[in-house]
Each structure stands twice: as C-alpha cells, then as structure tokens.
C-alpha cells in the first residue's frame, strides 16, 4: 500500500469533519452497540472513505464514529475487517493507520476470543499482556517511512503503564479482570483440539482471528496500545459443545454492560494520561 492511499482516505474523512480524536477504539464481535453510547456522534460509513476496507462479517456494522466519552475525544471502528475475509494484512490495518493520521495517539483494541487457559470461563474479560501472531506481518513489503521505522521494537506492544491504569479501573469498578497472552490465527475455521493444546503449551491464554496485526501496525506508528478480550467461549476440545459465531455474539450481548463499564473507564483513564 502506498502512503498516498492513506492520505486520500484521510482527505475523505476531512470532507465530513475536522474532528481530531485522542483515542481510537476497535469494537470487536458483538460489541458494536457501544458506539451508540458516546456523545456528539459523527458517523461515517466505510463506503464513503476512499480505499477503506469493508467488513463482510455479521456483528461488524462498518462505521467510523467520532464523538466523546466524557471529555475524551474518540474515534471508534464499529466493525473491523479480518485476514480471513480475503484482505491482506496491509489492508486489515489500514483503518488503524488512518485513525492515527487523524490524530489518535492511543489505541484500544477489543475482541471476542476463545479461552485457552483452563481457568477462564465464558464472560471473562482478559487484558492482553502480549501476543503471538500466526498470520503474516502487516509490515511486510516496502516500509512507509512516513509512519515508522523499518524494524520497530515489539517489547512493550501492549503498554505496561497503560495496563496498570486499566487494572486500577477494574478494581475501582469491582470487575474481575484476567490478564494473559492472545494468539491470532488466520481462521475462518475454528481451531482443532490439537492446535489448542499446542497454543496452550506455547503460553497462549486466548485465541482469536484479529488484533495482533492491528497492534503491530499501531506500535510501528508509535501508538500506545491496550488490548481487551471478551472470552466468549472455551476453545475447541475444552468442552463437548460445537463452536459457533452465534455463541460469540450471544456472549457479547450478555456481557455488554460489564464490558462497556470497563471500556468507558479505560478510555477516560488512558485518554487523560500523558504516560
């Protein structure tokens, strides 16, 4: 992807609004309803943004929404695109790059994930400490020097300082917050029991089909990132139930209030932090 394409996407947004967000948020499967709770909403359909990828997955509506959470200016992706939809990793992370160019310096990535850790149950919230990426890097190809260095460091990809702020907010809200390692796989098929056993042996606590490539792109640009997973089901082989996207969406709806409480507190805490 050429830098010019990103500039044209930004110009499309600027024709609608000159809003400059502080925090960008990606809303995962079943969590898109949060966008309706922010104030001073300015929605822009993905189709109206030059070169912007559009989602083909139920539960991912397809709007870039500008507004405020308290006093914090935010931009939310109500729906994301995935590698398994046929997009390249470079295309998958285009929205993150555009949101950064629009002004956002901090990113909150949310997702629905399968629990690999035996201590997890559906409905748990997990703060991502680190990740394992099983899909190609979005940085493959000619480096966009305008965005970041050729070889970016990934040692603190999910900011330790911002994670401390999230854990503090969870304690204040009396929300049980797990912490662990997320692994991104390609999908769209769910994993086999043998794959899950292997991922657990590697140290993964939760598995999904997004997030890692987005965090890599954000780190490349110098954004400070937080990752939050909603454990919507136990991974394959851990129960006798067959996995389904309907279960993912149902657990998302059932856990929405608790998740939204933590997300709101997180936005306010990291948006007001200079660290």
Is 84 a catalytic site residue?
Answer: yes
Is 155 a catalytic site residue?
Answer: no
Both structure tokens of 26: 């990606």
Of 85, 199, 212, 221, the catalytic one is 85
Of 100, 111, 159, 210, the catalytic one is 210
Of 126, 204, 206, 209, the catalytic one is 209
Is 206 a catalytic site residue?
Answer: no
Of 24, 233, 238, 265, the catalytic one is 233
Contact predicate 246/233, CB 8 Å: no
Is 209 a catalytic site residue?
Answer: yes
Of 22, 82, 111, 223, the catalytic one is 82
Of 60, 159, 199, 215, the catalytic one is 60
Of 29, 159, 229, 255, the catalytic one is 29
Question: Can you say whether residue 218 is alpha, beta or left, with left for phi > 0 and alpha for psi between -120 and 50 degrees?
Answer: alpha
Is 100 a catalytic site residue?
Answer: no
- Nearest partner of 128 among 156, 153, 106, judged by Cα: 156
> 207 - beta bridge partners?
114, 183
Is 245 a catalytic site residue?
Answer: yes
Is 82 a catalytic site residue?
Answer: yes
Of 9, 35, 99, 112, the catalytic one is 112
Query: Active-site residues: which are they?
Result: 29, 60, 82, 84-85, 112, 209-210, 233, 245
């Amino acid at each position: 992807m050429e830098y010019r394409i990103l500039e044209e996407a930004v110009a499309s947004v600027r024709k609608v609004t000159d809003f400059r967000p502080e925090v960008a948020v990606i809303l995962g499967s079943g969590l898109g309803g949060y966008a309706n709770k922010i104030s001073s909403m300015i929605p822009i359909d993905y189709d109206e943004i030059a070169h912007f990828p559009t989602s083909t997955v139920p539960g991912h509506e397809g709007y870039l929404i500008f507004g405020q959470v308290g006093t914090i200016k935010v931009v939310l992706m109500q729906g994301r695109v995935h590698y398994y939809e046929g997009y390249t990793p470079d295309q998958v992370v285009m929205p993150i790059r555009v949101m950064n160019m629009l002004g956002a310096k901090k990113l909150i990535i949310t997702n629905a994930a399968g629990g690999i850790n035996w201590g997890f149950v559906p409905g748990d919230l997990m703060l991502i400490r680190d990740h394992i990426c099983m899909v190609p890097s979005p940085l493959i190809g000619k480096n966009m020097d305008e965005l970041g260095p050729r070889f970016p460091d990934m040692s603190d990809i999910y900011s330790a300082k911002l994670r401390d702020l999230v854990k503090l907010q969870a304690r204040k809200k009396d929300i049980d917050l797990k912490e662990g390692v997320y692994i991104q796989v390609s999908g769209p098929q769910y994993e086999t029991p043998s794959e899950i056993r292997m991922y657990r042996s590697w140290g993964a606590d939760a598995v999904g089909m997004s997030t890692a490539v987005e965090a890599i792109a954000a780190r490349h640009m110098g954004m400070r990132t937080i990752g939050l997973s909603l454990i919507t089901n136990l991974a394959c082989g851990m129960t006798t139930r067959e996995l389904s996207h309907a279960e993912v969406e149902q657990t998302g709806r059932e856990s929405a209030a608790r998740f939204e409480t933590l997300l709101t507190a997180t936005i306010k805490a990291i948006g007001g932090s200079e660290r």
